[in-house]
Structure 1
C-alpha cells in the first residue's frame, strides 16, 4: 500500500492535493515526506475498506445525494 500511495502521487490529482495539504508548512499540519505519505496510505486503505464494506466501485468524486 505504501508503494501504491507513492506511485499515486504521479498520476492521481486527488492524492497529489491530499499530500500537498499534509506537507504545507504554513498550516498546522506541516508534516514531513514520510508522515504525509503514510497519511496518504492510510487514506487509501480507508477508501478501499469502504468499497469492500459497501460493495461499491471506486468513484473519483463522491456521489451527490439529494436532500429532502
Structure 2
C-alpha cells in the first residue's frame, strides 16, 4: 500500500542514506547491523534514512552541526 508524505523528500533522504554508507563509518555500521538482523537492502536503507532524519531534527532543535561519533584512536609509545 502506498504511504503518504512528500515523495521528493523521501527520495532525497533515501539517496542521502545510500551515499553516506561509504562516507560515514557510523552510518555503515548501522546499515550492517540492520542487514545482520535480516533486513533487506532496501529495508536497511530506509531505516538508515529514518535514523538520519532523527539526527537532522535533533541538530535543528539544538542548533548544532553534525559530528561523527566515530571514536578516535590514540596511539601511545
TM-score where L is the length of structure 1: 0.79
Q: Kindly provide the CA deviation profile for residues 39-65 of structure 1, in whole angstroms up to 9, marking residues without a partner as x.
A: 000000000000001111111129xxx
What stretches of structure 2 of length at least 5 have no aligned partner?
1-12, 71-77
What stretches of structure 1 of length at least 5 have no aligned partner?
63-68
* Alignment counterpart, residue 60 of structure 1, candidates 58, 64, 68: 68
Alignment partner of 1:16 is 2:28: yes
Q: Which runs of 4+ in 1 moved over 4 A?
A: none
Indicate the RMSD between aligned Cα atoms, in angstroms: 1.3
Cα distance in 1 for residues equivalent to 2:65 and 2:33: 26
Equivalences, count: 58
